[in-house]
Amino acid sequence: MASVVTLSAFAANTCVALARFAIAYGGLAFTGVVIWSLPGDVAPTPGHVASIGGIQNRNPDHNSRGRAPTSTSG
């Protein structure tokens, strides 16, 4: 669903582009909920949920994407 945002560049008018943006960001919101429910499903005990969530949040692949543009552009 998030790939619908690409079609916004080819929209005939602003309303169609905004509708496509809404669909794309709605899809991202639904996906985010599923990803963040994973630590609760795989944790061996309720006390480990926050630890697994922290490991998931500190994924170097995701964090490097956020740092790269700022380190290269100033």
Length in residues, the chain: 74
**pLDDT tens-digit profile, the chain (74 residues):** 667 778 888 889 999 999 988 888 888 888 877 777 888 888 999 899 888 888 877 756 555 554 554 445 44
pLDDT of res. 2: 63
Token pair recorded at residue 63 = 């964090």
Token pair recorded at residue 62 = 């995701």
> Distance between CA 54 and CA 43 in Å, rounded?
12
- The pTM of the full predicted model, rounded to 2 decimals, is 0.50
pLDDT of res. 70: 46
pLDDT of res. 59: 59
pLDDT of res. 8: 83
pLDDT of res. 53: 84
SS3 69: helix
